[in-house]
């Protein structure tokens, strides 16, 4: 009786192995990190999220590389203006998370240089969409304006 039951379990195991074997490559691709999947096999579905964030407008290179000190704040403003005007990507440094979001575009096929230059080294409120892939944070800006000043003694939200 035990032998018959074992044979049934073995037959069932072979049946499921035979049935699910063709699905293994598909399931394996979905479980891999995106960076390990060949580009031509990646699912190219927009992965954006609507967001509202408060942060500082910085030039991405100086802030990320730290070659010019901290790469942010009023002391770095002249350098950031020159860098962004010269073609370095502007970014928003999120004050909640400390993450840098590269300002990828404002409108179709245009960058954010003209939009963000007036706000360099200032605290801004930005509305738009973020996307993250391969360790890169991007933001498409819908609206940017000066953020309300923080009064002394208040915490940043």
Q: How far apart are CA 68 and CA 45, in angstroms?
A: 38
Backbone angles phi and psi of 120, in degrees to 5: -60, 135
Please identify, in words, the CATH class of the domain defined by 48-146: mainly beta
Least confident of 35-49, 56-70, 94-108: 35-49
Question: Do 41 and 29 form a contact (C-beta atoms < 8 A)?
Answer: yes
Q: What's the confidence (pLDDT) of residue 67? A: 93
pLDDT in tens, 137-154: 999 999 999 999 887 766
Report the chain's mean pLDDT, rounded to a whole number.
Answer: 83
Predicted TM-score (pTM) of the model is 0.68
Q: Where are the domains of the chain?
A: 2-41, 48-146
- Over 80: is that where the pLDDT of 8 sits? no
């Amino acid at each position: 009786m035990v032998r018959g039951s074992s044979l049934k379990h073995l037959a069932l195991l072979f049946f499921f192995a035979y049935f699910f074997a063709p699905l293994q490559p598909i399931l394996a691709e979905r479980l891999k990190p995106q960076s390990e999947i060949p580009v031509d096999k990646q699912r190219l579905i927009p992965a954006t999220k609507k967001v509202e964030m408060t942060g500082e407008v910085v030039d991405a290179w100086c802030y990320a590389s730290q070659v010019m000190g901290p790469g942010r704040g009023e002391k770095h403003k002249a350098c950031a203006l020159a860098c962004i005007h010269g073609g370095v990507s502007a970014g928003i440094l999120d004050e909640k998370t400390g993450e840098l979001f590269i300002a990828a575009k404002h409108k179709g096929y245009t960058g954010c240089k003209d939009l963000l230059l007036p706000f360099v080294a200032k605290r801004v409120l930005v509305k738009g969409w973020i996307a993250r892939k391969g360790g890169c944070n991007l933001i498409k800006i819908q609206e940017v304006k000066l953020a309300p000043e923080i009064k002394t003694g208040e915490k940043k939200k």
